[in-house]
Amino acid sequence: NRTHGPERPLAHLTPSVGWMNDPNGLFYDNETSTYHTYYQYKPNDTAPGVPLYWGHASSEDLITWDHHGVALEPKDEQSGAFSGSIVVDYNNTSGFFDDSILPGQRIVALYTEHSNISESQFAAYSLNGGYSFEYYEQNPVLDINSTQFRDPKVFWHEETERWIMVLALSQQYKLQIYSSKNLTSWEFQSNFSHHGLLGYQYECPGLAKVPIVHESPSNVTLHGLNSTTNATAQTNATSVDHKWVMILSINPGALTGGSFNQYFIGDFDGKTFTAQDSATRALDHGKDFYAFQTYSDVPNNDVLGIAWASNWDYGVNVPAVDYRSSMSLVRNLTLRPYNPNPETTEFTLYSEPLVNYTHLHTNQSIHKTSLLLDSEETVSYSLGKDPQGLLEFSLEWKVNATAVTSRHDFADLSLYFRGAEDDDEYLRLGYELNAAAFFLDRGNTEVDFVSENPFFNNKVTQNIETYKIAEDGLPILKVRGIIDRNLIELFFNDGSSTSTNLFFFSEENYIGAVDISSGVDDVYTILDFKVKQMSL
C-alpha cells in the first residue's frame, strides 16, 4: 500500500509503465551505434499474464534509455509473444529485405508464440531498424506440437555458415539445437539434456562464443560512445582463443530459491554442444538475476548481455505502483584461467559491468587506504545531501589470519548501508573469515515486505574461490558494488563471481551513510575503500 513506488533506478532499464520480465531480442545496430533491448511486457498491468507483448527501449550509453512502447504483439488476447531473440540478417538470407534496407538494419526476430494449447516459433522482421515489425506470413517457422517448447536464441555460426537456434523443451529438461540457411526453415541437429540443476523447467537458453583472456580484467569501455575508445579492443587483442558457453535458466529450483541462471563451458561444432564437465556453475549467485541473454552483433564479437533483475518467487509481489521490475546492468563476459596459471585448461567466467557515468554527476567521493579495524570500532561515512543517488563502491582488504579462535562467534568484516531518514533500516554486506564467504543480509530492509515474503531470504551467501594471494600467503579480497536505488550488483575479485539482489527500504528512506565494522580485532586490514555517490 505504497503511494509511490520505490524510486526508479537511475542506471538500470525499467519499463516506463507496466510489467517487465525477460530481456528479449538484444542487438546492436552498427549503422546508428545504438543498443536495442526488448523485453517481456504487459503495458497495462504490473503483473504478468496474457496478452503479453515485447516492449522496446534503445540506448547509446546503456544507462539512459528511450522508450518505444510495444514492438511485437501476440496473435490474440489469450496469447503471448514470449521470449526470443533478434539477429541482423546482413546478407538477406531470409529474403525479407530489399536494397533500400541497410545491411546492419535487416532485423529478424524469432520468438515463441504461446497459448495454453501450443508453443511454436514465429518470425517477424522490421523494415525500420527495429521500431516496428511485420509478421512472417507462413508462421510458425518451427512447431513440434508441444506446449512447453520455447525461448529461441538465434545466432550466426561463422564456421558452418548457418544460423543456429537453441531453445528449451522446458519440462523434458532438454535444450534443442536447430540450424537454418534462411531463418525460416529449421533442421534439428541435437539435444543437450539433463545438465546442471534441473529445477522444474528449463527456460531461456543461450550459446555464446566467449573469448579466453589471459590478462587480469581491465575496465571495459563502451562501443559507440566515443570513437577513440573502442570498447574492448584491448581485451580482444589479448584473447588467444575462445570456448563456447551454454547458458541455461531454470525456474523454480535454484539452490538459493526460485529462478536462477547456470552455465556450462564446452565446445560447439555447429551441430552439438559438448560440455567439458557436468558441474553446475552459477552465472550470478544472487537471488535476482534471471533469463540472461546476450546482444547480437556487438563489435569485436564481445559478449555483452543482461538479465531480468528479479526472481519468479516474489517478482510479482515486490513494492510497485505503476511499473514493476528492472534489468541488470549490461555485462561483458570473458573466460579467464581458473588459477593464475597460463597452462591451466580450467576457466572461470568473469563478468564486468558496462557502466558509463557521463550523465551522472558526483556529489560525494570518499577514498580511504590502510585502515586496521578493531572490534569496538565503527567507521561511518555520510554519503552527502542527496541520498537518492547511485552509489558505486569498492573495497579491497587483506585478511591477516587464516582463521580465528572459537572465542569469536562471527568473524566478519561488514559494510552497513544505512537509511538517511531511518538508520535502523540497512543493507549489510559482509565477509566471514571462517566460512571464507561473503554474505548479503537484506533482513533489516523494509520490515513489512520482508516479513510477508518468506522467499525474500534474509541472507544470500557467496563462497570465493578465485582471489589474490599476498606475498605472505594470506588472501587479498576485493568487492566492487553498484547500488542503484533498490538493486545491488556485486562483483567479487574483478568479476570472477557476482551477486545481484533487490532490496527495498521504506518510502522516502534512501541510503545516507555507510559504516564499516568488524566482529574481530585486527584481522582485517582495509587496503583501499572508495565510495562515490552520484545523481542525474
Shortest Å, Cβ 440 to ligand FRU = 23
Query: For strand 487-492 and strand 475-484, is the pairing parallel, antiparallel, or unpaired?
Result: antiparallel
* Amino acid at position 215, single letter: E
Among 14, 30, 37, 40, binds ligand FRU (CB under 6 A): 40
Number of residues engaging ligand FRU in binding (CB under 6 A) = 13
Shortest Å, Cβ 274 to ligand FRU = 25
**Residue nearer to ligand FRU on the CB measure, 21 or 30:** 21
Q: Is 112 in the site for ligand FRU (CB under 6 A)?
A: yes
**Residue nearer to ligand FRU on the CB measure, 72 or 220:** 72
Q: Is 203 in the site for ligand FRU (CB under 6 A)?
A: yes
Among 12, 36, 150, 285, binds ligand FRU (CB under 6 A): 150
Which of 22, 61, 89, 412 is the catalytic position? 22
Shortest Å, Cβ 290 to ligand FRU = 6
DSSP assignment letter at 489: E
The CA-based dihedral angle spanning residues 387, 461, 319, 324, taken in that order and rounded to the nearest 10 degrees: 100
Q: Is 113 in the site for ligand FRU (CB under 6 A)?
A: no
Shortest Å, Cβ 40 to ligand FRU = 4
Binding mask 291-330 for ligand FRU (x = CB under 6 A): x---------------------------------------
Q: Please tell me the distance from the alpha carbon of residue 460 to that of residue 440, in angstroms, as a whole number.
A: 5
Partner residues linked to 124 by β-bridges:
109, 135
Among 5, 12, 18, 22, binds ligand FRU (CB under 6 A): 22
Q: How far apart are the first and last CA of the chain?
A: 28
**Cβ(345)–Cβ(480) below 8 Å:** no
Residue 22 appears among annotated catalytic residues:
yes
**416 Cβ contact list (under 8 Å, min separation 6):** 426, 427, 428, 514, 515, 517
DSSP assignment letter at 9: P
Shortest Å, Cβ 296 to ligand FRU = 18
**Cβ(115)–Cβ(39) below 8 Å:** no
Q: Is 41 in the site for ligand FRU (CB under 6 A)?
A: no
**Residue nearer to ligand FRU on the CB measure, 206 or 430:** 206
Restricting to residues 252-291, name those near ligand FRU by CB under 6 A.
Answer: 291
> Residue 494: CA atoms inside 13 Å, Cβ hemisphere, count?
18
Among 5, 11, 21, 416, binds ligand FRU (CB under 6 A): 21
**Residue nearer to ligand FRU on the CB measure, 169 or 204:** 204
Phi, psi of 233 (to 5 degrees): -50, -40
| SS3 state of residue 95 | coil
| Alpha helices in 115-213, H assignment, sequence order | none
**Residue nearer to ligand FRU on the CB measure, 29 or 113:** 113
Q: Is the four-CA dihedral 148, 154, 158, 160 of positive or negative sign?
A: positive
**Residue nearer to ligand FRU on the CB measure, 50 or 127:** 50
**219 Cβ contact list (under 8 Å, min separation 6):** 352
Q: Is 52 in the site for ligand FRU (CB under 6 A)?
A: yes
Q: Show the CA angle centred on residue 160, arms to residues 157 and 162, nearest 5°.
A: 55
**Cβ(293)–Cβ(85) below 8 Å:** yes
Binding mask 75-104 for ligand FRU (x = CB under 6 A): -------xx---------------------
Shortest Å, Cβ 292 to ligand FRU = 11
**Residue nearer to ligand FRU on the CB measure, 37 or 112:** 112
Shortest Å, Cβ 48 to ligand FRU = 6
Binding mask 116-145 for ligand FRU (x = CB under 6 A): ------------------------------
Q: Which of 457, 396, 456 shows the shortest CA–CA distance to 431? A: 396
In which residue are the cell numbers 522444474 written? 200
Per the structure block, which three cell numbers stand in for 102? 541497410
Restricting to residues 204-223, name those near ligand FRU by CB under 6 A.
Answer: 204
Give the number of residues written for the chain.
536
By the criterion CB under 6 A, which residues form the site for ligand FRU? 21-22, 40, 48, 52, 82-83, 112, 150-151, 203-204, 291
Residues marked as catalytic = 22
